[in-house]
Amino acid sequence: MYLGVDCGTQSLKVIAWEPDSASLVSSSQSYDLIAGLPPGHKEQHPQDWIEALDACMDRLAGLGADLSRARAIGVSGQQHGLVLLDRSDRVLRPAKLWNDTSTGIQCRRILEAAGGLDAYREEIGNSLPPGFTASKILWAREHESDIYHRAETMLLPHDYLNLHLTGEKTAEAGDASGTGYFQVARRSWSDRALGWLDPQRDLRACLPRLIDAREPAGQLRPSLARKWGLPDGVRVSSGGGDNMMGAIGSGNVSGGKITVSLGTSGTLYGYSSTPVLDPQGEIAAFCDSTGGWLPLACTMNVTVATEMVRSQFSSATLEEFNQRIEEVPPGAEGLILLPYLEGERMPNVPEGTGVLLGLRPRTARPGHLARASMEGVTLGLRYGLDRLRELGARADEIRLIGGGSRSRVWRQIAADVFGCPVVSLSQEEGPAFGAALQAAWCREEQSLENWVDGYVRLDETTRQLPTRSGRELYEEVYSVYRKLSDTLISSPVFAGHRQLINRKD
Q: What's the CA dihedral at 209, 431, 259, 273 to 10 degrees? A: 30
pLDDT at residue number 490: 77
One-character DSSP codes across 313-347 = II---HHHHHHHHHTSPTTGGG-EEEE-BTBBTTT
The H or E element containing residue 293 is strand 293-299
pLDDT at residue number 129: 87
What span, in angstroms and rounded, lies between the C-alpha atoms of 125 and 189? 12
What span, in angstroms and rounded, lies between the C-alpha atoms of 158 and 46? 11
Q: What percent of the chain has pLDDT over 70?
A: 97
Residue ranges of the chain whose pLDDT lies below 70: 492-505
DSSP state of 419: T
How far CA 295 is from CA of 52, 58, 250, 255, 285, in Å, comes to: 31, 37, 15, 12, 5
What span, in angstroms and rounded, lies between the C-alpha atoms of 334 and 35? 36
How far CA 291 is from CA of 90, 160, 184, 244, 286, in Å, comes to: 32, 22, 12, 11, 11
What span, in angstroms and rounded, lies between the C-alpha atoms of 153 and 299? 29
One-character DSSP codes across 346-389 = TTTBTT--EEEES--TTT-SHHHHHHHHHHHHHHHHHHHHHHHH
What span, in angstroms and rounded, lies between the C-alpha atoms of 438 and 440? 5
Q: What percent of the chain has pLDDT over 90?
A: 84
3-state secondary structure of 392: coil
pLDDT at residue number 91: 98
The answer to whether residue 242 is catalytic is yes
Instruction: Please name every residue paired with 75 in a beta bridge, in sequence order, or none if there are none.
Output: 5
Specify whether the CB–CB gap between 265 and 301 falls below 8 A: yes
The H or E element containing residue 501 is helix 493-501
How many CA atoms lie less than 13 Å away from 172 in the CB half-sphere? 31
Specify whether the CB–CB gap between 168 and 153 falls below 8 A: no
Instruction: Please name every residue paired with 16 in a beta bridge, in sequence order, or none if there are none.
Output: 3, 25
What span, in angstroms and rounded, lies between the C-alpha atoms of 163 and 501? 40
What span, in angstroms and rounded, lies between the C-alpha atoms of 416 and 412? 6
Torsion sign, CA atoms 126, 127, 133, 134:
positive
The CB density around residue 297, as the number of other CB atoms within 10 Å, is 27
3-state secondary structure of 221: coil
pLDDT at residue number 505: 41
User: Nearest to residue 462, comparing CAs of 505, 398, 418, 419?
Assistant: 398
What span, in angstroms and rounded, lies between the C-alpha atoms of 245 and 290? 9
One-character DSSP codes across 232-274 = TT-EE---EEHHHHHHHHTT-SSTTEEEEEESSSEEEE--BSS
3-state secondary structure of 282: coil
Q: What's the CA dihedral at 143, 148, 149, 152 to 10 degrees? A: 180
Among 48, 175, 242, 278, which one carries the catalytic annotation? 242
DSSP state of 41: -
pLDDT tens track for 403-426: 899 999 999 999 999 999 999 999
CB neighbour burial string for 454-480, b if at least 16 within 10 angstroms, e if fewer = ebbebeeebebebeeebeebbeebbee
What span, in angstroms and rounded, lies between the C-alpha atoms of 8 and 342? 19
Q: What is the pTM of this model?
A: 0.87
DSSP state of 63: T
Domains for the chain: give ranges and CATH numbers: 2-238 (3.30.420.40), 252-505 (3.30.420.40)
What span, in angstroms and rounded, lies between the C-alpha atoms of 291 and 374? 35
Specify whether the CB–CB gap between 453 and 260 falls below 8 A: no
pLDDT at residue number 324: 93
Phi, psi of 400 (to 5 degrees): -95, 135
Q: What's the gap between Cα 288 and its chain centre?
A: 13
